[in-house]
Structure 1
Amino acid sequence: MEKITIYHTNDIHSHLDTWPRTANFLRSQRSLHKSRSEDCFIFDIGDACDRVHPLTEATEGRSMTRLLNEAEYDAVTIGNNEGIGSTKDQLDHLYDQANFQVLLSNLKDKVTGKTPEWAKPIKIYRTKEQTRIGVIACTIPLSVSYGPLGWDVEDPFDSIKEKLTQYDDIIDNWILLSHLGIDYDRKIAETFPALDVIIGAHTHHLLPNGERVNETLLTGAGKFGEHIGQIDLYFEHHTVKLAEAKVINLLTDIEPIKNEKGLVKEYIQFGHELLQEQKIANIPENLLVDWKSCTNFVKIGMDAISDYAETDSAILNAGLFLQPLIEGSVTNDDLHRALPHPMRVLKYSMNGKVFKKLLLSMESKKERLQTLPIKGLGFRGEVFGQLCYKGIDIIEGSKILVNGKELDDETIYTVASVDHYLFVPFFPEISKESEYEVLFPHFLRKIIGNYLKKRYPINREQEGII
C-alpha cells in the first residue's frame, strides 16, 4: 500500500511567535520522509501575511515569502489578506522570491483575463508510485474588494467544476486548497465527490481529526500558526483507500529552537527600523489619542478621509487611533503603531430621511459603543470608542445640522467613514439603505499619512525613503 503525508498551515496572519520552530519542524519532516523514500507535501492555505506586523508592513508582505521559503513549502495559495490587503502591483510582486509554487484557480487579471503570472491554476504531482495527484486552490470570492483592485474573482464552484472536467482523464486523486471557510468546504464536498481532500482555511476552524462529508476528508489547522495539520493518505492502485488527519500543537508538541525568542524579537525590531526610515511629515503639535473623546488626531483623520473621498462630512470612532503622533517628524512606523487596522475608506450616500435615522441610531448607541470591546473584522484596537462627526451637529438630541444647514429629508448626503462600518452590526442603514463604495487601494493609515504629508511637508533632505 502506497502512503503519502501532507503537512499544512493556514491563517498564520504574520503571527511569528512560533515560526522558527514551525519552519524547522517542516524542514525536518521533509528530510525524514525523504530518508525513508516516502512522498511528502507541504502546503499553506493562505493569509500567511497580515500587515499588522511591522515587518510585513515594511516589506509589503515580501518578508513572509522569504520566511515561507525557510519551511520548504511545495505550494501555497492566497487568502484575502494577500489578495485584497495588497495593491495589484504589490500582489504581482509578492512572490518574486518564492521557492514554492503559488496555486490559485479562481482569480484572473481583469486586463488579460488570465491567471496572474505568479500563479498556476493547477499543479499535478506524481508520487514515487506514479500516482497522479491534482492540486487546485480557491480563495474567498470577495468580488466587491477584488474588482476595484484589478482582479476578477470567480465563483469557486465554477472554477472547481472546470478543472475537474478538464483534467479528469489524467488525474487519479484530487486535493483542494481552500481559503473559503468551513461552510463552503462542506457544500463543495457535497457537490464534488471526486475531491478526496479539502484542506481548509479562512474561518480559522480547527479540526483535530478532520471531518468527513461523504467520502471527502475536510481538514483545518486553526489560526495564528498555533497548529500544523498532518494528513496521511493510503493508496491502492492509485486510489485513496484510507485518509487520516490530525493536528500538531506548536506550543505543546514541538520544542522551540535555540534563541527562538530572540529571532521573533528581531522580526519585529527590523520591521520597525525599516518603517522608521520612511519619513512622512513634520507636524507642529502632538496629535493626541483618547478613545473617550474626539481629539485633534481624530479630527485630522476625518479631514483626511473626507479629502480623499471628496465629501464634506465624515464619521470615525476614536478607538481606531491607538497611539499619539508626537510633534516633529512622523514616520510610517508612527502611523503603523497608531493605525494598524487593514481598513479602507468607505464612501456612502443616502437621503436625509435615512441619514437622520442613522445619526439618531448612532446617538442612541454612542454611550454603549464607547467602551465596547471589538475584535476582528479589520479592527486591531481594544474598544470602539467615541463616535466623532465632521460637518454634522446634533443639537438637543434631535435637531441635525449638516454643514451648518438643517438636515432635509429629500437631500442626498455623502459621508466618509471606514469599511469596518459595513461589517459591524451597529449601523445597518449603511449596508442596507445607502449607495456605498469602498475606496481602493490604500489603507486608512496611508490615506492619513498622505494627508499629513500634504498638509505638513518636510524638507527634501529630511524626507528619507517614502
Structure 2
Amino acid sequence: MLVDVYQPWIAGGKEGMKLLQSLDCGSDDSIILLYTNDVHSHWEGVTRLAAQIRHYRARLGNRVLLLDGGDHMDRAFSETEGTYGAANLHIMNALRYDAGVIGNNEGLTFEPERLGDVYRKWGQFPMLAANVFDLDSGERPNWLTPWIRLERNGYRIGIVGVTASYPDYYKLLGWDVTDPIDAVADAVAELRPTVDLLIVLSHCGLPVDERMAEQIDGIDLILGGHTHHLLQEGRRIKDTWLLAAGKHGNYLGVVECCRRAGKIHMKPYCIPTAELEPDEIIVQELGRWREEAVRHLAAPVTVLSEPLAVHLAKPSPLGQLLAQGLRSAARADIGLVNAGQLLGHIPAGEVTEGMLHAICPSPTNPVRMQLSGSALRRALKECLQEEWIHKTIRGYGFRGTELGTLCFDGLQMEATVHADETRIRLWREDGREILDTDMLWVGSIDMFVFGAGYLSLKQGENIQFLLPDFLRDILKSQLQNELELERCRESRFTLTTLD
C-alpha cells in the first residue's frame, strides 16, 4: 500500500488521508504519474507543487513520471516577462519534468521565433504539440515534437501533446494549428501497437477532451487543461480516464498505475497543495531569476516631465493616451479601451519597462474593426454606470480586476442625465455628429471581440487582430511621442446632470 511510503501531510489534511488510505497500487512494478496544468506563473503554487513532487521522487525514485499540460508561462508575472519564459523553463528543469505541451499562453502571447529560441536554449525535456505547424513551410517547428515514447519501470509509454486550436489567431503569428482530435487519432494509430500505456496531454479544454474520449479508441488517459477544470477523482468515459488539476498549482494530479492479471489499472486523483510548505530549493532558484528579470525590466523607456494619471470611473490622461495609440495602430476613426486595463498611474521622471509591465500586465492585443454608431453609443452609455465600471472580469487575457469606464480618442461625447434617463451625443473630430446608422473604424482590444466587458462591442465586423503587440507595447510608443503626450490631456467628455 502506498500509504506505507507517504507521510500523512503529503495529501493535505483529512481529505488527503482518506485518499491515501484507499490506495492499492504500491507494488514495486507500479509507476506514479504526476501532473500539473495551467500554472500561469503563480510561483507560490509552484513552490508548493515542488515540495510535493520532491517528496514523491525521494520515496519512489525512477517510478515517477512528471508531466505538464501547458500554460505554465504567463507574461503577467515579472519573472516570466523579464526572462521571456526562461525562468519557467529553469524551474521545470529543476523539477525534472519528463514532457510538456504548449498552451495558448505560450503559443499566442510569445513571438514564435523568440519562444523557440528560449526552448532550444534552456529546455531539457520534450515539448509536445502534434497539431502545430509552421504556416509557410507546413513543417513542425524544430523545438516541438508530436509525441514521444519512453520506458519507466518496465512500462512502455506513449505521450501525445495537443493544444487548443485558434486557427485565425495563430495564422497571424505564422502558425497553422489544426484540429486536435484529428491529430490525436493519427498519433494513436501510430503509437498504440507499440506501447502499454497511451497518454494524451491535452491543452484543449474539457469539452474537447470528452469528445476525444468518446470518439477515439485506444487512449488510456487524457490529462487535461485550458479550461481550468478540476477532476479531483478523475472521470471515466468508455475505456479512457480523464484527469485535470485545476489551475495555479492549487492541486497536483496523481495517477497510480499497476499491473494486475496482465492488465494495467489506473487510479487518478488530485491532491490539494494549500497546506504544504514551499520547497526552499525552488524558492531560492526563483529568487535568482527574479533578480535577473528585474535587471531586464529596468531598461528605460522615457522621462516624463509630468505624471500621467488613470481613473477607473472617468476618462483620464493615461487612458486617453492608450486609446490614442490603439487608434493610430489600427489606422481607425476612433480608439477605445477600458480604464481597467491600466492598474496604476505613471509618475513624473524615468519610466522603465518594468513600470509599464506593472501597470499594464495583461497579454491583450489590439484589434481593428468596424462598429455601428448604435453599438458604440450603447457601450459609452453603459460605461457611465457603476455596475459596469466595477464589473469583475475574469479570463480573456485580462489580468486586472474591474472593467472600468471607457477611454476614447477621435470623438467628443456629451452625456446628459435627467432623472433615470441618460442621453448620449457623439461627434467626430471634424464636428459631424455620429448617428446610430454610421459605421466607424475602431481601434480597440481583443477582449471586447471575445465578448468580455461592454457586450455591444462584440458586434464589430471585419475584425483584424493586430498581433504580436500587447497594450503595453502600444503605450510605450505613445510615451515616446511628445505630441501624443500633449493630446492625451484634452477634454473629450462633458457630463451634465439636470434636476
TM-score by length of 2: 0.84
Q: Which amino acid aligns with 2:172?
A: P
**CA apart distance, 1:389:** 2.0
Question: 1:64: which partner in 2?
Answer: 88
Supply the distance in 2 between the matched residues of 1:387 and 1:226 (Cα, whole angstroms).
Answer: 35
Return closer, same or farther for 1:259/1:170 CA change in 2, 3 Å cut-off.
Answer: closer
State whether structure 2 residue 435 is matched by structure 1 residue 402.
Answer: no
Task: Count residues with an aligned counterpart.
Answer: 447
Secondary structure at the counterpart of residue 113 of structure 1: coil
Deviation by residue 1:154-209 (Cα, 9 ceiling, x = unmatched) = 10111011112233432333100011111111111111131000001111111221
- Any idea what SS the aligned residue of 1:29 has? helix
Q: 1:450 maps to what in 2?
A: 477
Q: Confirm or deny: 8 A CA contact 2:335 2:443 kept in the other structure.
A: yes
Task: Give the deviation of 1:262 after TM superposition.
Answer: 7.1
Amino acid at match of 2:293: G
1:335 and 2:362 aligned: no
Residue 229 of structure 1: how far off its partner (Å)? 0.8
* AA of the residue aligned to 2:269: K
Q: Structure 1 pair 263/124, CA: closer, same or farther in 2 (3 Å)?
A: closer
What amino acid is the match of 2:384? Answer: K
Displacement, 1:58? 0.7
Q: Which residue in 1 is equivalent to 2:125?
A: 100
Q: Does 1:245 align with 2:291?
A: no
Which secondary structure does the structure 2 equivalent of 1:431 belong to? helix
> Which residue among 188, 191, 214 is the counterpart of 2:238?
214
- Distance (Å, rounded) in 2 between the aligned partners of 1:260 and 1:106: 32
Q: CA RMSD in A?
A: 2.4
- The DSSP-based 3-state class of the residue aligned with 1:286 is coil
1:356 paired with 2:382, answer no
C-alpha distance after superposition, 1:358-389 (max 9, x if no partner): 32343145312112222332222232112122
Q: Could you tell me which residue of structure 2 aligns to residue 289 of structure 1?
A: 310
1:85–1:342 CA contact under 8 A, matched in 2: yes
Q: Give 1:39's aligned residue.
A: 63
Whole-Å separation in 2 of the counterparts to 1:11 and 1:94: 19
Task: Identify if the C-alpha distance between structure 1 residues 208 and 267 changes in structure 2 by more than 3 Å, giving closer, same or farther.
Answer: same
Q: Which residue of 2 aligns with 1:17?
A: 44
**Structure 2 stretches of 5 or more lacking a match?**
1-26, 417-422, 485-499
Superimposed CA distance per residue, residues 302-332 of structure 1 (whole angstroms, 9 cap, x where no aligned partner): 1111121112311112222111111121101
1:454 & 1:234 partners in 2: Cα distance? 64
Matched-pair contact (CA < 8 Å) for 1:348–1:430: no
Deviation at 1:456, TM superposition (A): 8.6
SS in 1 for 2:441: strand
Paired position in structure 1 for 2:75: 51
Q: Deviations over 1:415-452 (max 9, x none)?
A: 11111112345544443451211110011101211232
Identity %: 28
Cα offset for 1:264?
A: 5.9
Paired letter, 2:341: L
1:386 paired to 2:410: no
State the distance in 1 between where 2:295 and 2:359 align.
16
Q: Which amino acid in structure 1 is aligned with residue 296 of structure 2?
A: L
The change in CA–CA distance for 1:363 and 1:377 in structure 2 (over 3 A counts) is: same
- 1:143 aligned to which of 167, 170, 174: 167
| Alignment counterpart, residue 176 of structure 2, candidates 130, 152, 168 | 152
User: 2:14 corresponds to which residue?
Assistant: none
Q: Which amino acid aligns with 2:273?
A: L
Q: Given residue 277 of structure 2, which amino acid in structure 1 is its aligned partner?
A: E
User: How far apart are residue 250 of structure 1 and its match?
Assistant: 1.8
Alignment match of 1:202 (pick from 218, 221, 226): 226
Task: Provide the C-alpha distance between the structure 2 equivalents of 1:328 and 1:168, rounded to a whole number of angstroms.
Answer: 62
2:278 to 244, 252, 256: 256
1:441 aligns with 2:462: no
- The question of whether the paired residues in 2 share the 8 Å contact of 1:318 and 1:384 is answered with yes
Change (3 A) 1:311 1:233: same
Q: Deviation per CA, 1:73-131, whole angstroms, max 9, x where unpaired? A: 000111111110101122212312111111111101112212211111010112343x4
- Conservation of the 8 A alpha-carbon contact between 2:39 and 2:247: yes
| SS of 1:17 mapped into structure 2 | helix
Secondary structure at 2:232 match in 1: coil
Partner in structure 2 of residue 274 of structure 1:
296
TM-score (norm 1): 0.89
